[in-house]
């Protein structure tokens, strides 16, 4: 099968590869780059385990072809914090927003994107925003609390700057 050259910046690092046009972004991240934190849960863009940020917007990386990321910037869970945990990740730990951890990278990225867009969401807004991410373990309660915990920390940090 023909291959297409792409150049993608992932977690701040420039990558050049030749990929099959049918390669999904999630498979490029997992198999070509070895970034296995981004997970595949459903193949139909319903579960959100593969959520990453593309040019700052939350996307489901099983919905995009790798070639669609050409010339763009991707942030995965591995790149969220260079040092220790990002407040969103810390929030999940504080509030027990994860159990098996499989949906967690996608949840964390979706929660991070939400707080970028809306630093002070209501509970209804949080639950609505996370509708595209399935968690079978936590019942979502810990996740919602984690988002509030992180929101507060991030607002405080912002105010301190």
Partner 1 sequence: MPYVGQAVKRKEDYRFLTGRGAYTDDLTLPGMVHAAFVRSPYAHARIRAIRTEAALKAPGVLAVLTGEDFAREGVKPMPVGWLLPTLKIPPRPVVAKDEVHHVGEIVAVVVAETRAQAEDAALLVEVDYEPLSPAADLRKALAPGAPELHPEAPGNVAFTWEIGDEKAVEEAFAKAHKVVRLSLRQQRLIPNAIEPRASLAAYNPGTGEYTLYTTSQNPHVHRLMHAAFILGIPEPKLRVVAPDVGGAFGSKIFPYPEEAAVLVAARQVGRPVKWAARRTESFLMDAHGRDHETEAEMAFDAEGRVLGLRVRTLANMGAYLSLFAPAIPTYLYGTLLSGQYRIPAIYCHVTGVFTNTTPVDAYRGAGRPEASYILERLMDLAAEEFGVDPADLRRKNFIPKDAFPYATPVALVYDSGNYEEAFQKALELVGYWNLRKEQAELRAKGRYLGIGLSCYIEACGLAPSKVVGQLGAQAGLWESALVRVAPTGKVEVYTGSHSHGQGHETAFSQVVADLLGVSLEDVEIVHGDTGRIPFGMGTYGSRSAPVGLSAVVRAVEKVLDKARRIAAHLLEVAPEDLEYREGRFEVKGVPGKAKGFQEVALQAYLAHNLPEGMEPGLEATAFFDPSNFVFPFGTHVAVVEVFPETGEVKLLRYVAVDDCGPQINPLLVKGQVEGGVVQGIAQALLEEGVYDENGQLLTTSYMEYAMPRAAHIPRIEHGHTVTPSPVNPLGVKGIGEAGTIAAAQAVVNAVMDALRPFGVRHLDMPLTPEKIWRALRDRVPVAAD
Pairing of strands 51-54, 73-75: antiparallel
Compare residues 119 and 139 and give the one whose CB is closer to partner 1: 139
CB of 119 to partner 1, least distance (A): 19
CA distances to 53, 70, 80 from 88, in Å: 15, 28, 9
> What span, in angstroms and rounded, lies between the C-alpha atoms of 92 and 97?
4
> Which residues contact partner 1 (rule: CB under 8 A)?
20, 22, 30, 35-44, 46-47, 49, 76-78, 80-81, 85, 89, 92-94, 96, 98-105, 108, 123-124, 126-128, 130-131, 133-144
Compare residues 71 and 77 and give the one whose CB is closer to partner 1: 77
> What span, in angstroms and rounded, lies between the C-alpha atoms of 81 and 19?
28
Compare residues 71 and 118 and give the one whose CB is closer to partner 1: 118
Pairing of strands 57-60, 13-19: unpaired
CB of 79 to partner 1, least distance (A): 9
């Amino acid at each position: 099968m023909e291959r297409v050259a792409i150049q993608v910046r992932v977690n701040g690092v420039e990558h050049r590869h030749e990929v099959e046009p049918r390669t999904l972004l999630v498979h490029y991240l997992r198999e070509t780059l070895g970034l296995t934190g981004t997970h595949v849960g459903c193949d139909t863009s319903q579960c959100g385990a593969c959520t990453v940020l593309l040019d700052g917007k939350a996307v489901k990386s099983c919905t995009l072809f790798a070639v669609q990321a050409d010339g763009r910037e991707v942030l995965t869970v591995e790149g969220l914090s260079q040092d220790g945990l990002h407040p969103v990740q810390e929030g999940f730990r504080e509030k027990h927003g994860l159990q098996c951890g499989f949906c967690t990278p996608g949840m964390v990225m979706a929660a991070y994107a939400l707080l970028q867009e809306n630093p002070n969401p209501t509970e209804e807004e949080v639950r609505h925003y996370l509708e595209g991410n399935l968690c079978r373990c936590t019942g979502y309660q810990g996740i919602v609390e984690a988002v509030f915990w992180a929101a507060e920390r991030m607002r405080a940090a912002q105010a301190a700057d």
